[in-house]
Amino acid sequence: MSSGSKKITPLFNDYLYEAIRGIAVEQGFTANLFSVDFDEESCIECDGFVSFVFKAIINGDDRELVLWCKVPPSDDPRSLALFQREVHFYREILPTFYRFQTEKGVSEATGEGFYSAPKCYLAHCSTDKDEPEAVIVLEYDESYERWDWDKLEPINVDHAKLLMRQLGRLHAVSFAMKEQNPQIFEQFKLKDVLVEGNDLVTLMRESFDRALVTMRTRFAADQEKIQRIKDTVFQVLTACADPTKSEPYCVVSHGDCWINNFIYGHDQNNVATSVILSDWQSSRYATPLLDLGYFFFLCTGAQFRQDHFDQLLQHYHNAVKDLLDRLGGDTTRQFPFTGLLQLVKPYRKLLLDGC
């Protein structure tokens, strides 16, 4: 859609068009001398249909700026609630985390802190009008790409270590702020969006039943084991996700920590060098084990966990310690390694064996 054309689908509406024009001016494009186009062919439905994602291209002043736009479905209240949570993360939580680190002398340039989220140009969601005005606009960087990994294949150690480091840093900021800026941090103790709407158990049961149908042919020999898991999984997950059972070790979590939400950077030899965590719609105040367990259970195989689980836990905790101590905290008191092991202990067999 160019600067003079009409909207071509409900996704590319007048609000979105004017929002991108505003970003163009903020980024130094000469007013009225640039064009805005939306790439329909790039439009995808994110897993779970929480949002649609597509490119916006700004051209002018002999340069081009490509952006990722995310908009929610207009007819799904559950998806809209998740989208609002992601907007809140980009507008409130992430900038506060960044400012706190910078005030402590840990800037993005030092390479020490948590800055591994996409650059956000705009995050807005208003439902006051008949047609919601909602968009998240993120940086598009060609040096990063979504890791095109077969979801049925386990992750490898090098990629897992990069993720452990960033999860450790993300959680370290929470530990530091919770003690040093408790009034501000109190605002970030948010519940699961779906728990607040009483949709979580229903969603989990629907997903589990669909998974059972899919697995009946491929994993016919494991049906008894799968049924045992179904009989207990809801009680286990509910207990694990309850922050009151994990204090004083709860943090602001990513909440949806699996392969599709990692964007890896690679060098010329295709060696993974960095990772960005995207899709923050499930971010909440929870045990660190939520992110760790989600990752290990969904992104690794049983043999991988047997071989690398303890090593990666230590790698994660080392990252917590390095940044928390750098931010003026005290890891030995606020989140010792024994504290992490205490969180893991009730779920260790489930994580290692899958049952």
Mean pLDDT of 151-174: 91
What percent of the chain stands above pLDDT 70? 79
Domain count, the chain: 2
Residue 160 and residue 81 share a domain: no
Give the per-residue pLDDT at 207.
66
For the whole model, what pTM was predicted?
A: 0.87
CATH number at residue 30: 3.30.200
Give the span between the Cα atoms of 294 and 260, in whole angstroms.
13
Give the per-residue pLDDT at 94.
98
Do the domain assignments include residue 134?
yes
pLDDT of residue 22 exceeding 90, the answer is yes
Residue 157 and residue 209 share a domain: yes
Give the span between the Cα atoms of 184 and 290, in whole angstroms.
23
Pick the last residue of a domain from 107, 139, 171: 139
Residue 276 and residue 210 share a domain: yes
Cis peptide before 248 (omega within 30 of 0): yes
Give the per-residue pLDDT at 200.
55
**Where would I find the H helices in 65-146?**
77-88, 94-103
pLDDT of residue 255 exceeding 70, the answer is yes
Residue 119 and residue 81 share a domain: yes
133, containing H or E segment = strand 133-139
Tell me which of 24-28, 54-58, 143-147, 189-193 is least confident. 143-147
Give the per-residue pLDDT at 220.
66
**pLDDT grade for 210, boundaries at 50, 70 and 90:** confident
213, containing H or E segment = helix 200-218
More confident call, 133 vs 163: 163
Residue 168 and residue 234 share a domain: yes
Give the per-residue pLDDT at 6.
30
Residue 114 and residue 32 share a domain: yes
4, containing H or E segment = none
pLDDT tens profile 133-158: 899 999 987 755 554 556 666 788 99
Pick the last residue of a domain from 139, 161, 188: 139
Pick the last residue of a domain from 139, 163, 197: 139
Do the domain assignments include residue 3?
no
Judged on CB neighbours under 10 Å (0-12, 13-18, 19+), 143 is exposed
Give the per-residue pLDDT at 297.
85
Is residue 294 within 8 Å of residue 167, measured between CB atoms? no
Give the per-residue pLDDT at 268.
85
Residue 172 and residue 131 share a domain: no
Residue 216 and residue 116 share a domain: no
**φ, ψ at 247 (rounded to 5°):** -70, 150
Give the span between the Cα atoms of 106 and 216, in whole angstroms.
50
Question: Which residue in the block uniquely carries the two structure tokens 């940044």?
Answer: 323
**φ, ψ at 150 (rounded to 5°):** -60, 120
pLDDT tens profile 2-18: 333 333 345 678 889 99
- What range does the domain containing 41 cover? 14-139
pLDDT of residue 286 exceeding 80, the answer is yes
Dmax over Cα atoms in the chain, in whole Å? 65
Residue-level length of the chain: 355
pLDDT tens profile 177-188: 999 999 999 999
CATH number at residue 248: 3.90.1200
Residue 153 and residue 101 share a domain: no
Give the per-residue pLDDT at 9.
46
Give the per-residue pLDDT at 147.
47
